[in-house]
Amino acid sequence: MSTLEPPFARGLELLTTADLDVVGRVAESTNLTLVVEFGDGDDYHWAIYKPEVGERPLHDFDPGLHARELAAFELSEWLGWHLVPPTVVRADAPLGIGSVQWFVENDGEHYFTLLQERPETYDALRRLAVFDIVAHNTDRKGGHVLRDGSGVLWGIDHGLCFGSHARLRTVIWDFAGEAVPDDLLADIEPLADEVPDAVARLLLPRENAQLRRRVRQLLRMGEFPYPPDSYYAYPWPPV
Higher pLDDT, 190 or 236: 190
Q: Is the pLDDT of residue 220 over 90?
A: yes
Beta strand 87-90 with 153-155: parallel, antiparallel or unpaired? Answer: unpaired
Q: Which of 195, 121, 190, 203 is nearest to 155 (CA)?
A: 121
Q: What gap in Å lies between CA 84 and CA 76, rounded to an integer?
A: 6
45 to each of 14, 31, 37, 108, how far by Cα in Å? 9, 22, 6, 19
Q: Which of 195, 139, 205, 129 is nearest to 167 (CA)?
A: 139
Chain mean position to CA 32 = 17
Q: Is the pLDDT of residue 221 over 70?
A: yes
Higher pLDDT, 125 or 39: 125
67 to each of 46, 51, 83, 156, how far by Cα in Å? 20, 11, 17, 14
Residue type, 30: T
* Mean pLDDT of all residues belonging to the chain: 95
Q: What is the pTM of this model?
A: 0.96
Q: What gap in Å lies between CA 135 and CA 218, rounded to an integer?
A: 12
Beta strand 87-90 with 98-102: parallel, antiparallel or unpaired? Answer: antiparallel
| Digit-coded pLDDT (tens) for 93-102 | 999 999 999 9
170 to each of 47, 107, 210, how far by Cα in Å? 24, 22, 18
Q: Which of 139, 143, 101, 148 is nearest to 121 (CA)?
A: 148
Dihedral angle sign, alpha carbons of residues 102, 3, 171, 143: positive
Higher pLDDT, 232 or 47: 47
Q: Which of 143, 146, 26 is nearest to 85 (CA)?
A: 146
Is 88 in contact with 100 (CB distance < 8 Å)? yes
